[in-house]
């Protein structure tokens, strides 16, 4: 579903990604961990071209992102993204946040989009919040709306960049629960997170990235239970 080959990314002289390879199968959930500044967000953002890789190849669902001739807006519809800071549209209600792109990008009628949005709000447990504005919602609720907003485009892949790290601890659970449901329903997911419980429970594979490279890769049991690399061990010691 996702193939990334030898992805490099530099900001000026700073080489942030130094050749990352990743293959994600359909319905697979891949968790990325690593120290701050290691390039996790940058890599994730390359997967929907919010950052353009300096070199390398990225193919999602058979479409090559790094090919200059491909229609990036079309590809992005297939790749949902959830941000650390939610990034809901503050001038729109929860429902409008979700319906905007389906109406404007996919050309759905308002009624079709609203039906989809209500259904998704129900799935994330917020059916009674459809006319609330983002600043009337808690962080956890905002993030659940943001997930529903991404899902409304019916993406084939969902990317999550530390979706719970801007949340108060008591709200982390509700967002993770939504993500677990999503994984159970067979969504292909790449998740940057330090929630080890989540990684163990739903992650099929864990990647440890440091200094722009994949240092170690394996099942959650292997990585958390028996890390082979010294850097992985010292990182896990710090965060566990």
Partner 1 sequence: MELLQIWKDALPVLMVGLKLTIQLTVLAVFFGSIIGLFVGLGKMSRIPLIKIPSVVYVEFFRGSPLLVQIFLIYFGLSQVLGHSVDKFWSSVAVLSLNSGAYCAEIFRAGIQSIERGQMEAARSLGMTHTQAMRYVILPQAFKRVIPPLGNEFIAMLKDTSLVSVIGLVELARSGQLIVSTTYNAFQIWFLVAIFYIVLTVLISEFFVNRMERRLQAGDRS
Ligand X SMILES: Nc1ncnc2c1ncn2[C@@H]1O[C@H](COP(=O)(O)OP(=O)(O)OP(=O)(O)O)[C@@H](O)[C@H]1O
Residues found near ligand X in the complex (CB under 6 A):
11, 14, 16, 34, 36-42
**Smaller CB distance to ligand X: residue 14 or 240?**
14
The minimum distance between CB 21 and ligand X, in angstroms, equals 17
> What secondary structure does DSSP assign to 36-48, as a single string?
TTSSHHHHHHHTT
Strand residues in the chain grouped as ranges (E):
2-11, 14-24, 29-33, 55-60, 63-64, 79-82, 157-161, 188-192, 205-210, 213-218
Q: Which does 42 bind (CB under 5 to 8 A by kind): Mg ion, partner 1, ligand X, none?
A: ligand X
**Smaller CB distance to partner 1: residue 150 or 199?**
150
Choices 36-44, 146-154, 211-219, 228-236 (CB under 5 A): range interacting with Mg ion: 36-44
> What secondary structure does DSSP assign to 104-153, as a single string?
HTT---HHHHHHHHHHHHHHTT-GGGTT--GGGS-HHHHHHHHHHHHHTT
Show Cβ contacts of residue 129 under 8 Å, excluding neighbours closer than 6 positions: 94, 121, 137, 141, 145
The minimum distance between CB 14 and ligand X, in angstroms, equals 6
Q: Dihedral sign for Cα 124, 127, 131, 135, please.
A: negative
**Smaller CB distance to Mg ion: residue 85 or 156?**
85
The minimum distance between CB 150 and ligand X, in angstroms, equals 19
Q: Which residue, among 193, 187, 157, has the nearest Cα to 175 in the 3D structure?
A: 193
Q: Which residue, among 180, 228, 185, has the nearest Cα to 200 in the 3D structure?
A: 180
Q: Which does 60 bind (CB under 5 to 8 A by kind): Mg ion, ligand X, partner 1, none?
A: none
**Smaller CB distance to ligand X: residue 32 or 175?**
32
Question: Which residues in the 128-187 window bind Mg ion by CB under 5 A?
Answer: none
The minimum distance between CB 43 and Mg ion, in angstroms, equals 9
Q: Which does 90 bind (CB under 5 to 8 A by kind): ligand X, partner 1, Mg ion, none?
A: partner 1
Task: Report how far residue 15's alpha carbon sits from residue 57's, in angstroms, rounded to the nearest whole number.
Answer: 17
Instruction: For residue 41, state whether it binds Mg ion (rule: CB under 5 A).
Output: yes
Instruction: For residue 193, state whether it binds Mg ion (rule: CB under 5 A).
Output: no
The minimum distance between CB 143 and partner 1, in angstroms, equals 12
């Amino acid at each position: 579903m996702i193939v990334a080959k030898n992805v490099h990314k530099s900001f000026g002289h700073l080489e942030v990604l130094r050749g990352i390879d990743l293959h994600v199968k359909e319905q697979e959930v891949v968790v990325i961990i690593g120290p701050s500044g290691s390039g996790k967000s940058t890599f994730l953002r390359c997967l929907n071209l919010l950052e353009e890789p300096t070199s390398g190849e990225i193919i999602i669902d058979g479409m090559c992102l790094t090919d200059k001739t491909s229609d990036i807006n079309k590809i992005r519809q297939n790749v949902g993204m959830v941000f650390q800071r939610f990034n809901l549209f503050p001038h729109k209600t929860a429902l409008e946040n979700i319906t905007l792109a389906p109406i404007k990008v996919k050309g759905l009628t308002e009624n079709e989009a609203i039906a989809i949005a209500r259904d998704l709000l129900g799935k994330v447990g917020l059916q009674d919040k459809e006319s609330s504005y983002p600043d009337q919602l808690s962080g956890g609720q905002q993030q659940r709306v943001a997930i529903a907003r991404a899902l409304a485009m019916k993406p084939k892949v969902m990317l999550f960049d530390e979706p719970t790290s801007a949340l108060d601890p008591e709200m982390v659970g509700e967002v993770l629960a939504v993500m677990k449901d999503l994984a159970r329903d067979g969504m292909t997911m790449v998740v940057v997170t330090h929630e080890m419980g989540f990684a163990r429970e739903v992650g099929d594979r864990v990647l440890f990235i440091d200094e722009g490279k994949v240092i170690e890769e394996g099942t959650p049991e292997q990585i958390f239970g028996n890390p082979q690399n010294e850097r992985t061990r010292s990182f896990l010691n710090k965060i566990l």
